[in-house]
Chain A
Amino acid sequence: MSEANGRTPATTLTRRGVVKMGGALFVSFALPIGDSACAAKAAVSLDPTQLASWLEIRSDDTIVMRTGRTEIGTGMSGYYPQVVAEELRVRPEVISLIMGDTDKTPDGGYSAGFISGMANVRKVAAYTYHALLGLAARQLGVPVESLTVVDGVVLGSGRKIRYGQLVQGQRLDLKIPVTGTPAKADRTKWVGVTSLDGYTVTGDPPLKPLSQCKVIGTSHPIPGIPDKVTGKTRWCCDVTVPNMLHARMIRPTTLGATLISVGEIDKKQFPTTAIVTMGNLVAVVSPSEWEAVSAAPVVAAGMKWTDWAGLPGSENVTRTLREYRWSAPPASRGKAAEVSAAMAKAAKTISASYDQPYVRHAPIGPFVAVADVRSDGGVTVWTHSAQSQGLRARLAYMLGATPEQVVVRWLDHSGQFGRTTLGGDGAEADAVILSKLTGKPVRVQWTLQEDLAWSSVSPAWVADIQAGLDAHGRVIVLRSSFYSPHMFDPRPVGALLAGMPCSTSPPGGWIATEWPYDRIQNRLEEAFGMPNLGADASSSGLRGHIMRTPGQRQQNFALEALVNEAAAAVGADPIQFRLAHTTDPRLIDILEATSKAASWEPRTSPHPKARRTGTAPLTGRGVCIIVRQNAYWAGIAEIEVTPTTGVIRVINFTIGVDPGKIINPRQLDRCMKSGVVMGLSEALKEEVTFDKGAVTSTNWSRYKILTMEETPQIKVVQISRDDKGFGGGSEAANAVGPQAVAAAFFDATGVYARRIPLTPAYVMTLLKVS
């Protein structure tokens, strides 16, 4: 223990009785909410400095762990127990998780931010482990140094004691040192809410070295899967509470339409249904879900809205971005004068522009929420948000309440890939407003059409990139400029339509790139931002929001495209070309391992047999890398393209990652493969379309995503390291597909694809124009 250096919190032991909580009899180290008399009273939040707010060890040797973060489909509910089990020297199976409920978890934070969330619980577990050793030493009467722990049993000098026995009847006043504050709305701050990181556990408890890990590095199964497979999971869409009304929202006819008249409801046809409105927020509510579903289109048909046509149409997005009068870039990195001078001296320069359309998170399950706004001002919301404390802050701000008046309860739901990471944009605001207006609990179930038309959306991008090469064909200078509408607007649509207060920040630019090529030192990167398209609308138009590997995915697509083009321009193999621009051993290793797995033979692109015509499929291959959050990724696509049809089929995809220490190889394998699917979906199919007033890609035949038949054979390469900490091992798997496919298209045809998606129609256009 490191008490000598003062960094480990002092522990004291006091005697306490058996405590009743939640109807179950158990013994624990401490109660998060003070004495037992308070236990029966619902707490609104836990004290994060109390050990039991994070971790309880029960007399039956089971362990309960609490985190404000949630399972978002990438397996975190399995990794957290692994990390805690490792430090505590127990099996992960004895650990159960409580996730995401603001009144039952201590820390808040981004659910996607697993690395920081894990660092918290790892430290808590380490503090606890050393406190337990101290307890055991006293109980067994032996020095701490002589103790070992196996599966939660402390052994020393021939004696042993279980953790459950150690804590029985005891209270350990172990203070957990933390920094941070609960999330709170603040319109002057980025994205309009502070402290979305949640609490951070501080100090420096001794941690188990990664090279000695026994649980980390194994393929522990995800605990929630059996219940999901057998139908026992209670999903967010399954929540019902007494006296609950079902609501269906009736959205304006366009993003900017305002309500003229509501019309009436035929009480004979819909006897239990009522119309509820506030500003431009309209809903039908009924105790019967089917009656609300049936009434919604009938009521909608009788409503009148103003006209609005403030969007440019999706076919004009690139032109709109090009014609926008951009002010100075709010984000820039590098030295403009040096870059200009180096570019002027370069032996060769190449430049290109790239476009990416609006795409969206597009969950299979449309968003759903239940809210109960009570007359005493208390609010309970059942949600699947990935940012419980952030959501609580936004809802409190909307209501003019304090965050402590709002309890957010989290349940499983459809994967949403970043749409709620900033605490906004779900059905929760709709449900809260309707519950307040009706005085009853209300369940709001969005429809797919509504989800695809009214949720926030990942904005379009254009990029201009220029590279200067020396006489040896090596890139010596690079300039990149990225332009996009707002991508940090998490305001809930319900609050906007109802005219309720909501909090965001002005659009800005964001350089998301983590630079992978250390031999290209001379760079200028600039990111420009503009308001949402249609920002004058009552709904604020196309509300831009981050989505999986946000910003970096789009910027990396363009940067890696130019690297591929530069390699072709100097007649270099694209992988050899990349290796020539880095000295980073991790990038070199993952590129070499991935290219070996893909049986990559060095040659220049395009393929010697590349052509643009014919009915026979052409083959091509392409590569893309990304470095993100201490993880190194490489992706290699092998495709077939048929010039006469424009159809691209991805036959094989090889993906490699070095995320530092791999926690769970099997789950990482699955996340890599599924990330490839999402990336190929973006490469080949996805584009949000809209006319002058509204989104038109509002079902799965208009917003197309990859199917099983279009999924290639996927090979996975993993490199685990004990000396590089933990890295982001899941998220960026979607980011290498689009450029690898675009490069493979060039390899097959000799034609650059500088825009995605590579739909058959666009491919035909590309091949004809050239």
Chain B
Amino acid sequence: MANELTLSVNSVKQVVSAPAEMPLLFALRNHLKLKGPRLGCGMAQCGACAVLLNGEEIRSCVTPVSYAVGKEVTTIEGLPARWATEKGLSAADAAKTLHPVQQAWIEEQVPQCGYCQSGMMIAAVDLLARIPNPSIAQIKNAFTNKPPSPHLCRCGTYSAIITAVQRAARAMQG
């Protein structure tokens, strides 16, 4: 049964007509046309669908859309604005500034196929909010042992991700 649900996604309030139990991922991709988060395993085992909910990483493939009502959802499309708000950037500066994590992902040339990388960047933003200057061991731990599952990359970009997280950490503190 469809419900009228008001979501706040990337700071924009939008009404989605959908069953309450439908995963948030389907609302983001099919209703709101935000294609950053992607379907991987569909059971919270890989991280390709990760988004931020009130600033913390969740897996949108198993999170009911109704659970996101009243909370703030951030996808990679919304990361630049999130950073601009945090830093209090002017509109002109905000328009030409990516989130430091995204910038680091470009500078370190992290994505190979790139399918998992939206989720990887969300996990990086989540980590850097908790631990601003993580060691390699802390990065490995966050991307592997934080529930519900490791973030998996089949291309094997883990080394590049570690370097990029550290680059982003420096940029965010600078």
Residues of A within 8 A of B (CB): 72-75, 221-222, 224-226, 228-231, 233-235, 237-238, 289-290, 293, 362-366, 412-415, 417, 445, 447-448, 666-667, 670-671, 673-678, 681, 699-701, 705-711, 714
Q: List 18 A-B contacts (CB under 8 A).
A: A72-B113, A73-B112, A225-B111, A233-B114, A235-B115, A364-B48, A364-B116, A414-B154, A670-B112, A678-B154, A700-B46, A700-B152, A707-B143, A707-B158, A708-B151, A709-B140, A711-B156, A714-B159
Given A445-B39, A699-B41, A364:B75 Cβ within 8 A: no
Q: Do B113 and A289 touch (CB < 8 A)? A: no
* Interface assignment of B125: CB less than 8 Å from any CB of chain A: no
Q: Do A709 and B145 touch (CB < 8 A)? A: yes
Q: Do B45 and A699 touch (CB < 8 A)? A: yes
* A contact residues around B169 at 8 Å (CB): none
* B contact residues around A667 at 8 Å (CB): 109
Chain B interface residue count, Cβ-Cβ cutoff 8 angstroms: 58
Cross-interface CB contact of A670 among B38, B45, B144, B157, cutoff 8 Å? B157
Residues of B within 8 A of A (CB): 18-19, 22-23, 26, 29-30, 34-36, 38-43, 45-46, 48, 75-77, 80, 98, 102, 105-106, 109-118, 121, 139-141, 143-145, 149-162
Q: Considering residues A238, A415, A706, which has the most beta carbons from chain B within 10 angstroms of its beta carbon?
A: A415
Given A222-B109, A229-B106, A415-B113, A366:B39 Cβ within 8 A: yes
**Closest CB of chain A to B16's CB: distance in Å?**
11
* B contact residues around A73 at 8 Å (CB): 112-114, 155
Cross-interface CB contact of A673 among B30, B102, B111, B159, cutoff 8 Å? B159
- When chains A and B are docked, how far (Å) is the Cα of A416 from the Cα of B71? 36
A733 (CB) vs chain B CBs: closest residue: B156
- When chains A and B are docked, how far (Å) is the Cα of A221 from the Cα of B161? 16
- When chains A and B are docked, how far (Å) is the Cα of A705 from the Cα of B152? 8
A240 (CB) vs chain B CBs: closest residue: B30
- When chains A and B are docked, how far (Å) is the Cα of A673 from the Cα of B109? 13
Q: Do B156 and A674 touch (CB < 8 A)? A: yes
Cross-interface CB contact of B41 among A230, A445, A700, A708, cutoff 8 Å? A700
B141 (CB) vs chain A CBs: closest residue: A709
Q: Do A700 and B118 touch (CB < 8 A)? A: no
Q: Do B115 and A230 touch (CB < 8 A)? A: no
Q: Do B40 and A670 touch (CB < 8 A)? A: no
Cross-interface CB contact of B153 among A230, A364, A675, cutoff 8 Å? A364
* A contact residues around B80 at 8 Å (CB): 230
Given A230-B98, A365-B48, A699-B43, A415:B112 Cβ within 8 A: yes
**Closest CB of chain A to B132's CB: distance in Å?**
19
- When chains A and B are docked, how far (Å) is the Cα of A580 from the Cα of B62? 57
A75-B112, A221-B109, A701-B45 given. 19 additional CB < 8 A pairs? A229-B102, A229-B117, A229-B121, A231-B34, A237-B35, A365-B38, A415-B112, A415-B155, A667-B109, A670-B160, A674-B155, A675-B156, A677-B158, A700-B45, A707-B143, A708-B151, A708-B162, A709-B141, A710-B144
- When chains A and B are docked, how far (Å) is the Cα of A412 from the Cα of B117? 13
Given A225-B109, A365-B39, A290:B22 Cβ within 8 A: yes
Cross-interface CB contact of A74 among B112, B141, B149, B160, cutoff 8 Å? B112
Q: Do A448 and B115 touch (CB < 8 A)? A: no
A667 (CB) vs chain B CBs: closest residue: B109
* B contact residues around A362 at 8 Å (CB): 154
Q: Do A235 and B38 touch (CB < 8 A)? A: yes
Q: Do B109 and A666 touch (CB < 8 A)? A: yes
Given A73-B112, A412-B113, A674-B156, A231:B39 Cβ within 8 A: no
Q: Do B35 and A711 touch (CB < 8 A)? A: no
* B contact residues around A674 at 8 Å (CB): 112, 155-160
Given A364-B152, A700-B46, A700-B149, A708:B22 Cβ within 8 A: no
B23 (CB) vs chain A CBs: closest residue: A290
- When chains A and B are docked, how far (Å) is the Cα of A290 from the Cα of B20? 12
Q: Do B113 and A673 touch (CB < 8 A)? A: no
Cross-interface CB contact of B115 among A225, A289, A415, A666, cutoff 8 Å? A415
Q: Do B143 and A708 touch (CB < 8 A)? A: yes
- When chains A and B are docked, how far (Å) is the Cα of A698 from the Cα of B122? 26
**Closest CB of chain B to A280's CB: distance in Å?**
24
**Closest CB of chain A to B67's CB: distance in Å?**
15
- When chains A and B are docked, how far (Å) is the Cα of A681 from the Cα of B60? 27
- When chains A and B are docked, how far (Å) is the Cα of A526 from the Cα of B144? 43
